[in-house]
Amino acid sequence: MARHSESGQPIEPVYGPDALRAWSASEKLGEPGAYPFTRGVYPTMYTGRPWTMRQYAGFGTAVESNARYKQLIENGTMGLSVAFDLPTQMGHDSDAPLASGEVGKVGVAIDSIEDMRVLFGGIPLGEVSTSMTINAPAALLLLLYQLVAEEQGVDPSRLTGTIQNDVLKEYIARGTYIFPPKPSLRLIADIFKYCRAEIPKWNTISISGYHMAEAGATPAQEIAFTLADGVEYVRTAVAAGMDVDDFAPRLSFFFVSRTTLLEEVAKFRAARRIWARVMREEFGAKNPKSQMLRFHTQTAGVALTAQQPEVNLARVTVQALGAVLGGTQSLHTNSYDEAIALPTDKSARLALRTQQVLAYETDVTATVDPFAGSYVVESMTDDVEAAAVELMRQVEERGGAVTAIEQGFQKSEIERSAYAIAQETDSGERVVVGVNRYQMAEEEPYEPLTVDPAIEQQQAERLAKLRAERDGAAVEAALEALRKAASGDEENVLYPMKDALRARATVGEVCDALREVWGRYVPTDAF
């Protein structure tokens, strides 16, 4: 029976030299650390040191999340990765009516600088690298992080980390948007400018395909739509007067790693090659760092099953291996129990240990790009690249990523793929161990980690105390200055935003001030 890749290309039973006959190794493969970066963005890759091991964590209150971060650091995590709850992601305070029932559920609740102080209390921000999965309000959380670092005596020039800050994929696949596309892109350009001047080592955006993949995108769709968004961000920054080589080296990407290991390795290699070509040929980037596609990887949460959850340990290991063989710069491994509830301390530790075993007990870090020249992987890299380039062409035909989003192109393509996956799973054509094959008559009991519902009331009480103690007139003056900056096109909104947050304005208040000026985004299909 013929097999096909996740992107729809046929997988041959045997590959040989004919698979490579059509291309020149010098043009498409190159050397590690050199254009077109197919073999990796650095010459030595993991032979010098392993990838950055991050663990995505955050739940309940800042106190609870702070304790989890300290445990992860003690267990060998090299970088923190912060999950925020839905109200924070949507720019609402914990006591807002829309936040009811969601406070602290899928991440940590951050309402003001008070919470940010607690979240990073006792953690030296000049020594750790922190990634924050936050998009529409990314500027606020970055500024709160900077303010807390400054209180610790850390110069902003020493801060390292990443904000996701990728709002275009929110319109496509995830939905935690606040403002319409045009002001959202203006805010992103302001972040680029601010960080170049104030926090030069910070990665200003992590252009994400992960959430598209979780929504059902194929590997080719994942990289095509992600790179198309990247092109839109670069065009926005250039149109705002920035030189491409001034900001492009701080761009980064975020992809999933599925269990289909060979195609995932091919996908990562194809993505690097496409981005290098786009940056050099379309934007004239001269700095090699501007042409490098550096990326973080997370194993596939959507592939985890609540049935026989321990089997997820095998899935995560294979997925992590694919990310490493594909040349990731940092990696988060999902905990085996995430399909059931928040990860326990033990499951989070096992997820980290999975990375440590790959890094220190296997030989995959002994040589750069182990699959280079593989008949099957090189052929699959070409296939994924061709499919992705064709999808990017279709986005361009529609006027670019934003116009294509407004027309629903990316969303509809992903939904078709998701539907096909569901059909294959329901019919048994796609085997999911423990779900549609090799089931158990009775599942073993599991004690999940839960969030105390009292957190919502506790956060509301903290907010009431904050508002009673702060200088209300100073807060309102700072918010008015922010509204004024947002109303024009000349002033960078991050400077008055920082003043407002320093004056103890809340996340919701700052986002409300911007909503007053910029409005809210309402998707077309909502009418």
Q: How many alpha carbons fall within 13 Å on the CB side of residue 131?
A: 27
- Residue 438 located in a structural domain: no
- Residue 451 located in a structural domain: no
- Regarding whether 288 and 398 lie in a shared domain, the answer is yes
- Residue 471 located in a structural domain: yes
User: Which three-class secondary structure state does DSSP give residue 138?
Assistant: helix
CATH number for the domain spanning 194: value is 3.20.20.240
163 and 142 in contact (C-beta within 8 Å)? yes
What residues form DSSP beta bridges with 10?
Answer: 4
pLDDT tens-digit map of 144-160 = 999 999 999 999 999 99
- Regarding whether 473 and 395 lie in a shared domain, the answer is no
Q: How far apart are CA 443 and CA 440, in angstroms?
A: 6
User: Which three-class secondary structure state does DSSP give residue 407?
Assistant: coil
Read off the DSSP letter of residue 111: -
Listed residues 427, 449, 474: the one ending a domain: 427
Listed residues 427, 445, 472: the one ending a domain: 427
- Regarding whether 329 and 195 lie in a shared domain, the answer is yes
Domain count for the chain, please give it.
2
- Residue 437 located in a structural domain: no
Q: How far apart are CA 247 and CA 242, in angstroms?
A: 8
- Regarding whether 360 and 285 lie in a shared domain, the answer is yes
Q: How far apart are CA 443 and CA 396, in angstroms?
A: 49
- Regarding whether 178 and 318 lie in a shared domain, the answer is yes
169 and 208 in contact (C-beta within 8 Å)? yes
- Regarding whether 498 and 422 lie in a shared domain, the answer is no
Q: Which residues of the chain have a pLDDT value below 70?
A: 1, 21-27, 525-527
Q: What is the separation of C-alpha 4 from the centre of its chain, rounded to a whole number of angstroms?
A: 28
Contacts of 212 (CB under 8 A, 6+ apart): 169, 172, 173, 221, 222, 225, 226, 410, 414
Q: What angle do CA 180, 183, 189 make, to 5 degrees?
A: 135
Q: How many alpha carbons fall within 13 Å on the CB side of residue 234?
A: 26
- Regarding whether 223 and 86 lie in a shared domain, the answer is yes
- Regarding whether 276 and 414 lie in a shared domain, the answer is yes
User: Which three-class secondary structure state does DSSP give residue 433?
Assistant: strand
Task: Please report, for residues 369, 455, 463, the alpha-carbon distance to residue 108 in angstroms, rounded to integers and kept in the order given.
Answer: 37, 10, 15
- Regarding whether 305 and 260 lie in a shared domain, the answer is yes
Listed residues 406, 427, 448: the one ending a domain: 427
pLDDT tens-digit map of 457-476 = 999 999 999 999 999 999 99
508 and 475 in contact (C-beta within 8 Å)? no
pLDDT confidence of residue 54: 87
Quote the domain boundaries for residue 505.
Answer: 458-526
- Residue 4 located in a structural domain: no
Task: Please report, for residues 113, 120, 331, 473, 498, the alpha-carbon distance to residue 144 in angstroms, rounded to integers and kept in the order given.
Answer: 6, 11, 25, 20, 8
pLDDT confidence of residue 34: 96
- Residue 485 located in a structural domain: yes
- Regarding whether 489 and 422 lie in a shared domain, the answer is no
Taking phi over 0 as left and psi of -120 to 50 as alpha, with beta for the rest, 328 belongs to: beta
Q: How far apart are CA 348 and CA 352, in angstroms?
A: 6
pLDDT confidence of residue 212: 97
User: Which three-class secondary structure state does DSSP give residue 62?
Assistant: helix
pLDDT tens-digit map of 178-188 = 999 999 999 99
Q: How far apart are CA 222 and CA 216, in angstroms?
A: 9
pLDDT confidence of residue 22: 60
- Residue 19 located in a structural domain: no
- Regarding whether 229 and 85 lie in a shared domain, the answer is yes
- Residue 404 located in a structural domain: yes
Closest residue by Cα to residue 168 from 204, 129, 205:
205
Q: What is the mean pLDDT of the chain?
A: 94
Q: How many other C-beta atoms can be found within 10 angstroms of the C-beta atom of residue 525?
A: 8
Q: What share of the chain is helix, strand, coil (3-state, %, to 5)?
A: 55, 10, 40
In SS3 terms, 411-425 reads as: HHHHHHHHHHHHHHH
Residue type at 148 in one-letter notation: V
- Regarding whether 497 and 358 lie in a shared domain, the answer is no
Q: How far apart are CA 218 and CA 6, in angstroms?
A: 6
Q: Give the pairing of strands 10-11 and 79-83.
A: unpaired
pLDDT confidence of residue 527: 31
What residues form DSSP beta bridges with 132?
Answer: 82, 163
DSSP characters for 167-200? -HHIIIII----S-HHHHHHHHHHHHHHHHHH-T
Q: How far apart are CA 346 and CA 25, in angstroms?
A: 45
Query: How large is the angle between the packed helices 345-360 and 62-74, nearest 10 degrees?
Result: 30
pLDDT confidence of residue 165: 97
